[in-house]
Amino acid sequence: MSPRRTLRPRRTRAVVPILVGLVGGALLGGIGVAAGAGGPALTSQAVPATGAAQPGGTPAAAAPTTAAAEPAAPSCTGLVDAMSTRDRLAQRLMVGVDPSDPAAAVALVKSSHVGGIFVGGNPTALLQNGKLAAVQAASPTKVAVAVDDEGGRVQRIDALDGSMPSARVMAKTKTPDQVRAIAKTRAAALVARGVTMDFAPDADVSDQPANAVIGDRSFSNDPAVVTRYAQAFAEGLHDGGITAVLKHFPGHGHSTGDSHLGRVSVPPLAQLRTDDLLPYANLVGPGKPLHATGAAVMVGHLDVPGLTTDLPSSLTPAVYDLLRTDYGFDGMVVTDDLGAMKAISGEFALPQATVKALAAGADMALSSDVGPVTPTLDALQRALADGTLTAQANDRAVARILANKGLCG
């Protein structure tokens, strides 16, 4: 997702059994920025993520973390089985809402039972005076409420709760521990407004100029630095009660252009593995630092030689297989915006794109467009009936979404 104000507020295999490895916890959100030249040299090996570091990227000892004991979560299978087929499909949609019209957001979740809403744009009415609590009350199931709040050019609550520096500036001027504290404070402000998920940090590795599509949204052109700072930001969001979403898998930092404007290419898969993919290799999957936080991953709309063919990455099964199988990620996967980004909308209507993304392996399809949900839900029901989507895979995806919301385990 780009920092354009029209799309984002200022201020985008093997599947484990659903009762194993699902992550509990409240919904959280993720995007990042390129940092300075300091830090470890680029490496093709997965580098261990650490806790604190000096602004240049010098690692320090990781801070120990402890998890409070919680009651056993209910079975995700039971919650899924209790839902109608259409409600299960609706859980897989995150749709845009008009932030200036809280009543419309309430009506949307009440009528369609969507799994999530995206609060974009610049107006703040929906983020004030408990309006999002009314949205939750109108839904039979907890709603994921997502924003883009990375810092710098991409912020959502800066007019309400103050501004954060860009990822690149944070990596140059703050230690990872300081960034974690900044993210925790920001998360508390988001939670107070009713937000549950942040499409941040940006885990892209990039040396693009600051104002490029990724640019200063990336912590660094060094994957080791990106790994440390993305981990710190995501952990800070988790500390404050927000679900982080790392983006844009498999890596937008060296793209030929802006996927908001059309199809873009990135380096071949073999090159991504030694650079852009290292933050994911080091942070997600069983035993990795962010596994216990319930962080999600956003898949971008990218053409990747050696991985994709005729479709962008968000619509390509091999991309989800890479994330699930090669990197062992068993959490929730969401697409980048299918409705407003020309890499997708230039070729496919939203219902068609949504079917393709979910059939490829996404758990949740994001569209920032404010429009009727019925055509997309109808398309998903047809896809389930004709076998394009399978009931088993659909139920697994819904279970991951519910687990990400902290409703089951």
Pair of tokens at residue 226 = 């990106």
Contacts of 176 (CB under 8 A, 6+ apart): 50, 51, 52, 53, 228, 229, 231, 232
Task: Indicate if 260 belongs to the active site.
Answer: yes
Would residue 129 be called left, alpha or beta, if left means φ above 0 and alpha means ψ between -120 and 50 degrees?
left
Active site residue 336: yes
Write out the two tokens for 235.
Answer: 């952990």
Unique residue bearing structure tokens 């080091």: 282
| Rounded Cα gap, residues 64 and 381, in angstroms | 46
Q: Nearest Cα to 297, choosing from 310, 275, 313, 273? A: 313
The CA distance from 34 to 40, in Å, is 14
Catalytic residue of the set 113, 252, 260, 291:
260
Token reading at 85: 């087929």
Is the CB of residue 370 less than 8 Å from the CB of residue 286? no
The rounded distance, in Å, linking the Cα atoms of 79 and 333 is: 20
Q: How far, in whole angstroms, is CA 208 from its chain's centroid?
A: 22
Give CA–CA dist 74/287, Å, rounded. 23
Catalytic machinery residues: 260, 336
